[in-house]
Amino acid sequence: MKIFKLPDLGEGLQEAEIVEWHVQPGDEIAADAPLVSVETAKAIVDIPSPEAGRIARLFCQAGQIVHVGAPLVGFEGGAGEADTGTVVGEVKVGDTLQQEAPAAVGGRPAAAIKATPAVRALARRLEVDLTMVTPSGAEGVITAADVERVAKILAELGPPERLRGVRRAMAQNMALAQGEVAAATVMDDADIDAWAADADVTIRLVRALVAGCRAEPALNAWYESHTMARRLLERVDVGIAVDLAEGLFVPVLRDVASRDAADLRRGLDRMRADIAARKLPPEELRGNTITLSNFGMISGKYAAPIVVPPTVAILGAGRIHEQVRPVDGAPAVRRVLPLSLTFDHRVVTGGEAGRFLAAVVADLERPD
């Protein structure tokens, strides 16, 4: 039996959830025919059969999470039968999260938890994560009563919803960003009262990002923390945050500096439609050089958006609103677009961030 393992799905994608098998044991399949559909961090991907043959075994079922390199399917024939010792015991497949040490994001790190061995044993028996427990004992010690209180609350709430697909990837990426990036945020407002009524806000923001990158190329960059090296990137590929019920998607508009507004709008509309249908190719969700979050379309004026490595900057646009501002020495009601720029202070200086934001504001305040 020849075993086909989950292939490398691209940069940063180390696992996938089985959505649907297109074959069953005993079926004949042609080379390159659809074998299985999997959901990665951002999209549903069809994996083709690597060869023609008869299916001998499926190593996982729909709903299970499979790591890259884990067995997917066995084909009949080949040079001898598979060594079963290579595919049992250590196969990372399941419908629960892998038991890895979690990154501490807010709250207390595991090392700071104070509890006696008996209380820890009680927490394991009641399946209570001690990082969720507020201690009531002296000097921050968790007591048995604390654990039992949380266990009762969890029992009333019912079983938790396991994060999968997009939301699972979002949790992992945000934990990585929180634990690695030295984030700092600067804010400002752009007076857009001169804009036409039908101005395309998102495309104007993309154009302004290009102006910012031209003024300060240091923000259009990738940072490699393990080598402490940065790469300044000539092409501006903007990741645009899109909020859907399934979670956060960040499709990438490529080479935005060389495209006109109409072309950018067509590209963005196509990507949104593909995301809604979950048909966006994974490569269109990777490799952005800087990020835009137009959260003001929902609510909010200012924010501290999160920079996800290896990028070093994200621009957030808040809700457009009217504001009284001085114009020619007199108060006037103007339309204002609030802006929040978060940058990785390990790589980007405050001066660079300030000059970048000033260039963005200047471009946005142009009437055309």
Mean pLDDT by 10 residues, the chain (368 residues): 83 76 93 87 79 93 88 79 35 36 44 85 92 88 93 88 77 83 96 94 96 97 92 95 79 94 94 82 85 92 93 96 93 96 96 98 95
In CATH terms, is domain 2-94 a member of 2.40.50.100?
yes
> Helices 201-215 and 350-364, interaxial angle, to 10°?
140
Give the SS3 label for residue 330.
strand
CA distance 102 to 57: 34
Number of H helices, E strands in the chain: 6, 22
Given this model, what pLDDT does residue 80 score?
43
Give the per-residue pLDDT at 168: 79
As a whole number of angstroms, the distance between CA 42 and CA 249 comes to 7
User: What pLDDT, on a 0 to 100 scale, did the predictor assign at position 344?
Assistant: 96
Domain edges within the chain: 2-94, 110-157, 166-364
Classify domain 166-364 by CATH number.
Answer: 3.30.559.10
Instruction: Give the per-residue pLDDT at 364.
Output: 97
The model's pTM = 0.69
Measured from the Cβ of residue 170, the count of other Cβ atoms closer than 10 Å reads: 19
Let me know: does 315 contact 187? Beta carbons within 8 Å: no
- The predicted pLDDT at position 177 comes to 84
Q: What share of the chain is helix, strand, coil (3-state, %, to 5)?
A: 30, 30, 40
The candidate with the shortest Cα–Cα distance to 313, out of 226, 202, 213, is: 213
How confident is the model at residue 125, as a pLDDT? 92
How remote is the C-alpha of 202 from its chain's centroid? 20
**DSSP SS3 for 92:** coil
As a whole number of angstroms, the distance between CA 42 and CA 275 comes to 9
pLDDT for the residue 96: 36
pLDDT for 83 equals 38
Tally of CB atoms within 10 A around 125 = 10
Q: Quick one: residue 26, left, alpha or beta (phi over 0 = left, psi -120 to 50 = alpha)?
A: left
**CATH number at 110-157:** 4.10.320.10
